[in-house]
């Protein structure tokens, strides 16, 4: 009985003599290490996920290099911190540039480890991707030389039972070694672009469908905890695409006099800049407050 090789080894061998372009190997490794070396999960990670969907990234290689990068992130945390200190001191314009990019700007660039990972990730990933792509090219050249210069090897390599055994042990391979160099690399993944659009649309629909009730409950719980007494909120409406927000029926109980409200407001509405929200900032362009009252009796003690 022939047992297949472990998946980890099979994946590396498949990359070496498979149809993955060196360019794709470089991009996959670069993104994987960057994703892993930046601590936590932030807007930068979201941007990388979108790139992985759109670009023809080798998912297996991306996941393996992500795991390696995450391990390095934990092992070299002090190094990332000191790199981040240097980035804040000498590369502040770079951080300001990244902070001005939608989605990426949500990333907490004030954290030294994050700033260090943003710089170290592409450097480590780019270097590893270059070396891996170079290794793959050299391996394939040797395979091509064997195929061109050795008739016995070519005949043996083309036998049906060898191909079947190769498929069982390692996985799919190209027709011959020459096709490894003649095939063109496809950078964009058309299905990935469609998938990214569909996922984005579903997220918007999902958030639009459930956001108001969930956000209201969350806001009531947090405000009650901060106030130390009951806070009532009849309705909360959030416009994800427009950046608008409104709250109705606000009552903030006076913790010292639970029968009274510190403040009661019929409605607050505000319009915020969507662009700034994507940068992790709240910039209110317009706010309207109607019927604000102080120290008024509550319908029931809070």
- Could you give the CA distance from residue 196 to residue 50 in angstroms, rounded to a whole number? 7
- For the residues 250-272, what does the mean pLDDT come to? 85
Higher pLDDT, 135 or 278: 135
Domain match, 162 and 50 both: yes
pLDDT for residue 13: 59
Domain match, 118 and 234 both: no
pLDDT tens digit sequence for 186-238: 788 888 788 878 877 776 676 666 556 677 787 788 888 888 888 888 887 77
Domain match, 17 and 122 both: yes
Domain match, 216 and 177 both: no
The range of the structural domain enclosing residue 250 comes to 210-297
pLDDT for residue 15: 64
pLDDT for residue 142: 75
The model scores a pTM over 0.85: no
Residue corresponding to tokens 């900032």: 281
Domain match, 234 and 182 both: no
Write out the two tokens for 278.
Answer: 């994507």
Judge whether 200 lies within some domain. Answer: no
Judge whether 134 lies within some domain. Answer: yes
Split at pLDDT 50, 70, 90, the class of 3 is: very low
Domain match, 174 and 214 both: no
Examine the fold and report which residue of 188, 223, 258 is the final residue of a domain before the chain moves on.
188
Domain match, 18 and 164 both: yes
DSSP letter at 135 equals: H
Examine the fold and report which residue of 155, 188, 221 is the final residue of a domain before the chain moves on.
188
Residue 49 has a CB neighbour count (10 Å cut-off) of 15
Domain match, 87 and 141 both: yes
Domain match, 105 and 235 both: no
Judge whether 2 lies within some domain. Answer: no
Domain match, 170 and 274 both: no
Judge whether 125 lies within some domain. Answer: yes
Judge whether 205 lies within some domain. Answer: no
If one counts the domains in the chain, the total is 2
Domain match, 38 and 127 both: yes
Residue 66 and residue 76 in contact, taking contact as beta carbons nearer than 8 Å: no
DSSP letter at 256 equals: S
pLDDT tens digit sequence for 130-181: 998 888 888 777 776 766 666 666 666 666 765 665 554 444 555 555 555 5
- For the residues 24-40, what does the mean pLDDT come to? 94
Judge whether 195 lies within some domain. Answer: no
Highest-pLDDT range among 44-53, 149-158, 288-297: 44-53
Domain match, 254 and 129 both: no
Question: Could you tell me the CATH number of the domain that includes residue 273?
Answer: 3.10.450
Q: Is 169 exposed, middle or buried (0-12, 13-18, 19+ CB in 10 A)?
A: middle
Judge whether 198 lies within some domain. Answer: no
3-class DSSP assignment, residue 250: strand
Highest-pLDDT range among 60-64, 123-127, 140-144, 270-274: 123-127
Judge whether 266 lies within some domain. Answer: yes
Examine the fold and report which residue of 154, 188, 222 is the final residue of a domain before the chain moves on.
188
Split at pLDDT 50, 70, 90, the class of 94 is: very high
């Amino acid at each position: 009985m022939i047992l297949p090789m472990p998946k980890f080894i099979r994946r590396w061998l498949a990359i070496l003599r498979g149809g993955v372009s060196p360019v794709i190997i470089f991009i996959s490794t670069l993104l994987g290490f960057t994703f892993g070396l930046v601590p936590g999960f932030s807007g930068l990670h979201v941007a990388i996920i979108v790139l992985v969907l759109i670009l023809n990234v080798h998912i297996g290689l991306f996941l393996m290099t992500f795991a390696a990068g995450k391990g390095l992130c934990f092992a070299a945390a002090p190094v990332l911190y000191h790199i981040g200190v240097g980035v804040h001191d000498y590369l502040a314009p770079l951080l300001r540039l990244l902070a001005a990019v939608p989605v990426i700007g949500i990333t907490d660039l004030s954290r030294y480890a994050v700033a260090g990972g943003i710089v170290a990730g592409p450097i480590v990933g780019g270097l590893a991707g270059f070396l891996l792509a170079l290794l793959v090219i050299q391996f394939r050249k040797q395979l091509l030389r064997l195929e061109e210069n050795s008739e016995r090897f070519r005949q043996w390599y083309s036998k049906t039972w060898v191909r079947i055994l190769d498929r069982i042990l390692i996985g799919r391979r190209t027709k011959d070694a020459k096709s490894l160099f003649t095939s063109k690399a496809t950078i964009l993944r058309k299905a990935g672009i469609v998938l990214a659009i569909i996922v984005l649309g579903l997220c918007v629909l999902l958030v639009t469908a459930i956001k108001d009730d969930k956000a209201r409950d969350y806001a009531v719980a947090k405000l009650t905890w901060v106030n130390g007494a009951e806070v009532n909120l009849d309705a909360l409406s959030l416009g994800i695409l427009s950046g608008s927000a409104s709250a109705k029926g606000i009552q903030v109980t006076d913790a010292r006099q639970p029968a009274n409200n510190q403040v009661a407001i019929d409605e607050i509405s505000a319009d915020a800049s969507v662009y700034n929200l994507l940068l992790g900032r709240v910039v209110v362009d317009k706010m309207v407050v109607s019927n604000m009252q102080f120290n008024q009796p509550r319908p029931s003690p809070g």
